[in-house]
């Protein structure tokens, strides 16, 4: 007896494509849609269960809804001369209205209640030109990102942009700050020069006061000596007169 036609809509319909390099996990997505007015149970099976991880690998799709199934191919050594023989099968059946045990429903299901769709796996390795292009594109994007981040750091976060008005305002502010710094430097220089001038004037005045004092002392000493000599001469004369 022929099995009933699959009620689920599969996308993609016939192939699951996995694009290398295969040194890491490669994921292909499978969309299952239920266009009917009844809930549908499904299972995803493969001929190479150790090579794939499927999430979710079974469940119920409510009427009029869809789910995405992730099929993850595990890393392996790719041989371009070896054709993939891996296949997947999506098995489904209409969910009973009073279903409580999904595993039990699958075990008790009759062959004429089961529907299935098969997909084959295709491995694709990027050609050298595409790989070179991808590497160059990645390098260009990385360089552009670094430049944009470094140029944006002094002003705003890397995710923001400056319009012409903001750039002009920032440039004017920088110019004003430079002029202010120059003015402060000139004032500081003038203050140092004034302090030096006052120091020199103070030193000159101190020197003048000292010289005046010395002259006064010299004049006083000369007058004192003249008086002493005068008194001495007068004393000698008076002594002679007395004798």
Q: In sequence order, which residues have a C-beta less than 8 Å from that of residue 39 and are 6 or more positions away?
A: 60, 61, 62, 63, 94, 95
Task: Give the mean model confidence (pLDDT) for residues 186-193.
Answer: 77
Query: Using H for helix, E for strand and C for coil, what is the string for the chain?
Result: CCCCCCCCEEECCCEEEEECCCCCCEEEEEEEECCCCCCEEEEEEECCCCCEEEECCEEEECCCCEEEEEEEECCCCCCCCCCCCCEEEEEEEECCCCCCCHHHHHHHCCHHHCEEEEEEEEEECCCHHHHHHHHHHHHHHHHHHHHHHHHHCCCCCCCCCCCHHHHHHHHHHHHHHHHHHHHHHHHHHHHHHHHHHHHHHHHHHHHHHHHHHHHHHHHHHHHHHHHHHHHHHHHHHHHHHHC
8 A C-beta contact, residue 43 and residue 59: no
Query: What is the per-residue pLDDT for 26?
Result: 96
Q: Sign of torsion, CA 71 75 78 83?
A: negative
Q: Is the pLDDT score of 152 beyond 80?
A: no
End-to-end CA distance of the chain: 184
Does the residue 86 lie in any domain?
Answer: yes
Query: What is the per-residue pLDDT for 145?
Result: 55
115 and 24 fall within a common domain: yes
CA separation for the pair 145, 137 (Å, rounded): 12
Query: What is the per-residue pLDDT for 195?
Result: 72
Query: What is the per-residue pLDDT for 155?
Result: 43
Task: Give the angle 160-166-172 at the CA atoms, nearest 5°.
Answer: 140
Q: Is the pLDDT score of 93 beyond 90?
A: yes
0.85 surpassed by pTM: no
Query: What is the per-residue pLDDT for 11?
Result: 96
Does the residue 185 lie in any domain?
Answer: yes
pLDDT tens digits along 105-142: 999 999 999 999 999 999 998 775 444 445 555 555 55
Query: What is the per-residue pLDDT for 151?
Result: 54
Does the residue 133 lie in any domain?
Answer: no
In this structure, what CATH number is given to the domain that contains residue 102? 2.60.40.10
pLDDT tens digits along 17-44: 999 999 999 999 999 999 999 999 999 9
Query: What is the per-residue pLDDT for 41?
Result: 96
Does the residue 47 lie in any domain?
Answer: yes
Per the structure, how many domains does the chain have? 2
Does the residue 88 lie in any domain?
Answer: yes
8 A C-beta contact, residue 102 and residue 60: yes
Average pLDDT, the chain: 79
Comparison of pLDDT for 69 and 131, the residue scoring more = 69
Residue 114 half-sphere exposure toward CB, CA atoms < 13 A: 15
Does the residue 2 lie in any domain?
Answer: no
Q: Of 57, 93, 89, give the one whose Cα is nearest residue 72.
A: 57
Does the residue 33 lie in any domain?
Answer: yes
Both tokens of residue 95? 């969910």
Query: What is the per-residue pLDDT for 25?
Result: 96
Q: Which residue's entry shows tokens 């995405």?
A: 68
Among 66-80, 138-152, 174-188, 189-203, the minimum mean pLDDT is found in 138-152
Domain that includes residue 177, residue range? 171-206
Query: What is the per-residue pLDDT for 147?
Result: 58
120 and 176 fall within a common domain: no
């Amino acid at each position: 007896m022929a099995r009933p036609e699959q009620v689920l809509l599969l996308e993609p319909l016939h192939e699951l494509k996995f694009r290398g390099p295969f040194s890491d996990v490669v994921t292909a997505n499978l969309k299952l849609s239920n266009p009917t007015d009844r809930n549908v149970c499904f299972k995803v099976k493969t001929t190479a269960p150790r090579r794939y991880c499927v999430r979710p690998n079974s469940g119920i799709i409510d009427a009029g809804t869809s789910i995405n199934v992730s099929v993850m191919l595990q890393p392996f050594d790719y041989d371009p001369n070896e054709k993939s023989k891996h296949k997947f099968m999506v098995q489904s059946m209409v969910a009973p209205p009073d279903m409580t045990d999904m595993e039990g429903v699958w075990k008790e299901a009759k062959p004429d209640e089961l529907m299935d769709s098969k997909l084959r796996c295709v491995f694709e390795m990027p050609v050298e030109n595409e790989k070179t292009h991808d590497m160059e594109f990645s390098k260009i994007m990385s360089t552009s990102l670094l430049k944009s981040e470094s140029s944006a750091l002094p002003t705003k976060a890397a995710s923001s942009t400056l319009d012409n008005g903001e750039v002009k305002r920032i440039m004017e502010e920088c110019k004003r700050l430079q002029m202010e710094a120059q003015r402060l430097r000139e004032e500081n220089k003038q203050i140092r020069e004034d302090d030096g001038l006052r120091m020199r004037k103070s030193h000159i005045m101190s020197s003048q006061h000292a010289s005046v004092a010395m002259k006064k002392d010299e004049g006083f000493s000369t007058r004192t000596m003249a008086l002493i000599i005068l008194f001495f001469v007068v004393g000698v004369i008076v002594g002679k007169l007395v004798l």
